[in-house]
Amino acid sequence: MTNLLYDAFFAPLKGRDRAFLILPDGSEISGTAFLDMVHRVANALVAAGVRPGDRIAVQINKSPMALAIYGGAVAAGAIFLPLNTAYTAAEIDYFVGNATPKLVLADGARAEALAPVAQAQGAVLMVVNADGSGSFADLVAAQSDSFAAVARGPEDLAAFLYTSGTTGRSKGAMLTHQNLLSNAEVLTAEWQFTDKDVLLHALPIFHTHGLFVATNISLLAGGAMIFLPGLNMDDMIRLMPRATSMMGVPTFYTRLLDDPRFTADLTAHMRLFVSGSAPLLTETHVQFEERTGHRILERYGMTETNMNTSNPYAGDRRAGTVGLPLPGVEVVVTDPTTGDALPQGEVGMIEVRGPNVFKGYWQMPEKTREELRDTGFFITGDLGQFDADGYLSIVGRQKDLIITGGFNVYPKEVELILDDQPGVLESAVVGVPHPDFGEAVLGVIVAEPGQSPDLAAIDAVLRESLARFKQPKALELVEMLPRNTMGKVQKNELRAIFGDKFAS
C-alpha cells in the first residue's frame, strides 16, 4: 500500500546524512534525523487518538517540530490544518467549530485562551513550543522513530487551508494528495530545482507559499532549506551565501533593497529569486535587477489551487505579469456574467482547471457549486487579461471592481499611474460610497521615505491620463497600507477607514 505524499516527500529522506534543515545558529538537521522526527510525530498523533481522515488544527510558531508535524500528519493519514499565528482565540473558534479537528496543537502562550475553544468542540488541546517543550513535544519524544505510513491515494484529503474571509465567512479549501503532489512536481521541473539547491526559507508555514510551494519543492527535489523563523534582515544577509535560491513576498525584496549590505556580490552565486502572494511593483523589479543583475520570477497562485501560472525560468520574465499557465494547468479569461471565454487583451474573470485545483469547500456545498464549475474550472474571483504572447496580468479582485455612475473602473489601471508619480512609494485604489455615483474612486498613497508627494500635481496627471469617470474623486496620504501576513493589501480595511469620505 502506498501513501502518495509520504512516498514522494518524506520516504526519500531515509538514509540521507547530509543536511535537510539549516538553522539560524548554523546547526543542521539531516534528512534521516528529520524523518525520525516525522515518524515520532506520527506515532504521537496515533497515541493522541488521531485516526486517518481526522483533522489536526495547528497554531504554533515556525520550527523544525512544526514542519515535522506536517510530515507526521501526512504519514498518519490525517488532514493537516495550519492556522495563522496571528489569529485570535475568537477567530480560532470559528475554524475549530467548522473543521471539527480531533486535536488542536498550540503554542504555550496561547493555550489558556484556546482551552475553552477546544473543549467546546470536543477537541484535545496539546502544547508545542518553538523551543521543543510542551505536552505534545513530550509525547513525541517518548515515541518510536519507526512508523508504517497509512495508505493514502490521489483523491484522499491531505490538508485544509482557510481563505482570508474578507467578504464573508472563511472557507476551508480541501486539498488532496494529488493536488499538492502535482503542483510540486510541475514547479520543481519548471524552476529547475535539484538536490543541489539550498532554499533560503523565511516564509511562514501556515500558508500555501511557505508550506506547499517552498517546502514541498525542497522535499521533492531532495534539496535543503535554511529554515528561518521569520523575516530577519541580519539572518537573511548572513546566511544568503549558503543559499542558491529564495522565495518571498514583495516585502522581502523591498526590505532587502533598503539594506546597503544587499549587493550584487552577495547574490552573485544565487540561482533564483521567486516572488508571490501579493503583486510585485514594477519599480521593485527594476531596482532589484539594477542592484543584483537578477530578475525576480513572479508567479500566481491561490489557496484553492496552489500555483497556476509562472514567468519562465529560462525566458522573458515580464514585470507586471504573472507569466504563462503552468504545464497541465488550463487558464481562461471569461465574461463574469456569461462565463464565455474572452478574446486576448480583454479583461475578465480568471478561471483555472487542472490537477492542482482543490476538491471543494469543507461543509459548504453551495459555495463549492458557486465557484467550482461542473466542467472542473474554478472561478478565482481575480480579474485579468492575456497579452499577445500569452502572459497573464492580474487587474484585481472582482470584489475590488469599482462601479461609479454605471461605469467599471479597474483599480490597477489607476494604481499604475499613481505608483509612477514622483515621491510615491505605492498606492491602493478603492471604491467608497458616494451619494451621486453610488461609488467614488479614492486613491490612497504612501510616500517614499523623506518625500512629500504633490497631490495637486498628481491629480493633474490623472486628469490628463484617464477618462473622467476613472479619476479619483480624492487622494489620501497615509503612512502605510494595511496588509495581511503575506503582504496583500487589505482593501476592505481601506474601504472601512474611508467609507464616510463622501457622506452627505
pLDDT digits (tens, 9 = 90+) for 162-185: 986 544 578 999 999 999 999 999
Strands 348-353 and 378-386: antiparallel
Q: 257 and 390 share a domain?
A: yes
Q: Measure the CA–CA gap between 82 and 47, rounded to whole angstroms.
A: 20
> Helix, strand, or coil here: 22?
strand
What does the pLDDT read at residue 479? 94
> Helix, strand, or coil here: 20?
strand
Average pLDDT over residues 33-52: 98
Q: Measure the CA–CA gap between 454 and 46, rounded to whole angstroms.
A: 63
Average pLDDT over residues 105-113: 94
Is the pLDDT at 412 greater than 90? The verdict is no
Distance, CA of 96 to chain centre: 21
Reference 6, options 214, 144, 153, 182; nearest CA is 153
Average pLDDT over residues 470-498: 89
Q: Measure the CA–CA gap between 437 and 346, rounded to whole angstroms.
A: 25
Number of domains in the chain: 3
Number of residues in the chain: 504
What does the pLDDT read at residue 407? 74
Domain presence at residue 415: yes
Domain presence at residue 477: yes
Q: 260 and 369 share a domain?
A: yes
**Helix H or strand E segment including 283:** helix 282-292
Average pLDDT over residues 150-158: 97
Q: Pick the last residue of a domain from 372, 397, 422.
A: 397
Could you give the residue ranges of the DSSP H alpha helices within 331-421? 365-371, 411-419
Sequence-distant (≥ 6) Cβ neighbours of residue 500 within 8 angstroms: 433
**DSSP state for residue 319 in the 8-state scheme:** T
Beta strands per DSSP E along 94-171: 103-106, 124-127, 157-162
Instruction: Calculate the dihedral angle through the C-alpha atoms of 400, 403, 409, 415, rounding to the nearest 10 degrees.
Output: -50
Full domain range(s) for residue 59: 26-152
Is the pLDDT at 24 greater than 90? The verdict is yes
How are the residues of the chain apportioned to helix, strand and coil, as percentages rounded to the nearest 5? 35, 25, 40
Q: 228 and 83 share a domain?
A: no
What does the pLDDT read at residue 166? 46
Q: Measure the CA–CA gap between 38 and 146, rounded to whole angstroms.
A: 9
Domain presence at residue 158: no
Q: 109 and 251 share a domain?
A: no
- pLDDT band at residue 7, thresholds of 50, 70 and 90? very high
Q: 417 and 336 share a domain?
A: no
Q: Measure the CA–CA gap between 392 and 63, rounded to whole angstroms.
A: 36
Q: What is the pLDDT of residues 222-247, one digit of tens each?
A: 999 999 999 999 999 999 999 999 99
Q: 405 and 390 share a domain?
A: no
**Cβ(128)–Cβ(134) below 8 Å:** yes
What does the pLDDT read at residue 421? 95
Q: 415 and 429 share a domain?
A: yes
Q: 307 and 454 share a domain?
A: no
Q: 424 and 283 share a domain?
A: no
Q: What is the pLDDT of residues 63-80, one digit of tens each?
A: 999 999 999 999 999 999
Domain presence at residue 107: yes
Q: 344 and 406 share a domain?
A: no
Q: Pick the last residue of a domain from 371, 397, 423.
A: 397
Q: Measure the CA–CA gap between 206 and 450, rounded to whole angstroms.
A: 35
Domain presence at residue 192: no
The CATH number of residue 46's host domain is: 3.40.50.980
What does the pLDDT read at residue 165? 53
Q: 381 and 436 share a domain?
A: no
pTM of the predicted structure, to 2 decimals: 0.86
Higher pLDDT, 405 or 116: 116
Q: 392 and 406 share a domain?
A: no
